[in-house]
Structure 1
């Protein structure tokens, strides 16, 4: 693992089932390193085979606003961009707030309801720090996506789908 100022680059030995960049929408998961995969499955650190690729794509949008790359070959390569920008996970308090928002939004909620829940009065600060990144990252969805500025707009956790 190499951590650079603009990316994290990881290489791992691999039993390739193909070559090239992996598309998260159409890939078939299989263990890149079966011994390590079995170990993590046994200790409960893995939900399901392939969930890591899906989660990195999902959450990296929030952290950096960019897509990672997974490259299949004799050496499996993962490139995670770290484009500097404000992210909703600046502090442990922000992590707790995001978890609280996602749990609260298991039922559709208005922007004002969410703001009241976490105690932020400034609408612009709330939108920029929490709402927009969560929407961009796909963790929150709009009930009226065709009318994003509607006064009737509500937001729900994508975990409901």
Structure 2
């Protein structure tokens, strides 16, 4: 079977997230598949000796959790010499994919792996329909049934980090007009709930 992204690259990204995440955080490692990419989020940042740019060059290994990294190394899930990111870059190039993207976002280290997207030819008479991207706010409106509290939505999405949920899911959906508050004049009310707007329902129908 041929994968959009090499299996070894995805495995390396997930194992790295487990080995290097910040275990003092209540946030979870998240693996999100979109139409054009795969994103792996893990709470935490880089050690002071490393930068995002240095991940693209030969560098020393600085595991955030050596007691976890050691058995993963012995089981041959990871390399100890800090070559994981370089291997991912090389494999993506070999398979004609864009290089992996690394960034720090909202207290998390993010790995973005671009998928090989097939481009279909269309005749001038046919208008191609753009497939909506499965963004966090789209996942959110597809989760809401009737009227739900913030905690009910967060639990339904299986998200533990409240701040991450607020910034990545709730606020974008509110700003896009996909959802609305049931008590808009009292945004901090304990009885506050959220429901999908007409615009949100239209977005749902297009999926």
Q: Same fold (TM over 0.5)?
A: no
Higher relative contact order (CA 8 A, sep 6+): 1
Q: Normalised by the size of structure 1, how large is the TM-score?
A: 0.43
Q: Normalised by the size of structure 2, how large is the TM-score?
A: 0.34
Q: Which of 1 and 2 has greater Rg?
A: 2
